[in-house]
Amino acid sequence: MATEVERKFLVAASGWREGATSTTRYRQGYLARADAVTVRVRVAGAEAWLTIKGPSEGVSRAEFEYVIPVEEAEQLLSEHCVRPLIEKTRHLVTFAGHVWEVDEFDGDNAGLVVAEVELEHADAPVELPPWAGEEVSHLPRYFNAALVSYPYCAWTPDEKTGP
């Protein structure tokens, strides 16, 4: 079984920009969300995927990802995904031997910036970069699938200032 192990942090400073080596625009939508299982379609540049994710167990969860034609992904996004779509720009930043994904959200989630790091196992040590703020790995409202039903623009000021 494919397993994703990921920790997620709020971004507390803009120092990550100096180390960004790659920038990709993402559009993604959710075809189904039930019992903590999601089915997502994502387009990034000239590539597209269909992804199924299982319920979270700590910072781990089952993940199955399949390449699909971009034209089909665009049709799924246009005709079958729950609104709003997730729109974001992902920047890759290497720090202390790990590649961090810094996501700047747009649309209904504009203003939210989070950093994720994928690990080999849940107990893997990771040195936090100076721009990483509070960890939000265990807070469902920061999951992309949750941002569809409760986007950042609807959060209260208290919710926007941290966990």
pLDDT at 1: 54
In CATH, the number for domain 3-160 is 2.40.320.10
Question: 30, 66, 142, 152: which is the annotated catalytic residue?
Answer: 30
Q: Where are the alpha helices (DSSP H) in the chain?
A: 70-79, 144-149, 157-160
What does the pLDDT look like over 21-75, one tens digit per residue?
999 999 999 999 888 899 999 999 999 999 999 998 889 899 999 999 999 999 9
What does the pLDDT look like over 85-99, one tens digit per residue?
999 999 999 999 999
Residue 99: which of 19, 13, 153 has the closest Cα? 19
The C-alpha atoms of residue 44 and residue 24 are separated, in whole angstroms, by 7
pTM, entire model? 0.93
In the annotation, is 30 catalytic? yes
Instruction: Label residues 20-53 b or e (16+ Cβ within 10 Å = b).
Output: eeeeeebbbbbeebeeeebbbbbbbeeebebbbb
Q: Where are the domains of the chain?
A: 3-160
Residue 102: which of 10, 40, 29 has the closest Cα? 10
